[in-house]
Amino acid sequence: MGANELSAMLWRERELLELLIFKLEEEHLLLESGKSRWLQHATREVEQVLNLVREATLSRSVQVAAVANEWRTDAEATLRELVLHAPAGPWGEILNAHLKAMSTLTAQIKELRDVNENFLRVAARSAQESVVSSTAETKTYNAQGATGTTGNRATMMDQNL
């Protein structure tokens, strides 16, 4: 295990982050179009990709620790710290390029997640308001068969008639 394997893992993680962006954009398009029928499938796919990203992140952490030991630095080093302690040669630049790309992808993911979350909040609020307004205007039939108020209202009758 070494820097080559770490770089390969970082490429795989970047591919997964790009796939996550794609899945979040799919979810967003479904939300915008109102095609809620497929939303649960899109959400499940986002969760599946998130699980793969978590696994890749864990594998990367193990590989970073191995490379850190190989480069005689702290085994608890982050990727950013590993870039700073890279030996002379191309590895510092290569790992830094991975780090920058992953930071950009992560920012895009956060933005899409926030947009989708806001869209869902607005849609849920709108649905709640629709339900409340439709139940508030619900009328029943009265004894004459016309729609009106329920018969539970108190009435006064003129006894002189």
Where do the domains of the chain lie? 3-129
pLDDT of residue 126: 73
Q: State the architecture of 3-129 in CATH terms.
A: Up-down Bundle (1.20)
pLDDT of residue 112: 96
pLDDT of residue 104: 98
**pLDDT tens-digit map of 47-74:** 999 999 999 999 999 999 999 999 999 9
Q: Half-sphere exposure of residue 126, counting CA atoms within 13 Å on the CB side?
A: 7
pLDDT-derived band at 97, boundaries 50, 70, 90: very high
21 Cβ contact partners less than 8 Å away, ≥ 6 residues apart = 105, 108, 109, 112
Greater model confidence, 9 or 154: 9
Contact (CB, 8 A) for 85 and 77: yes
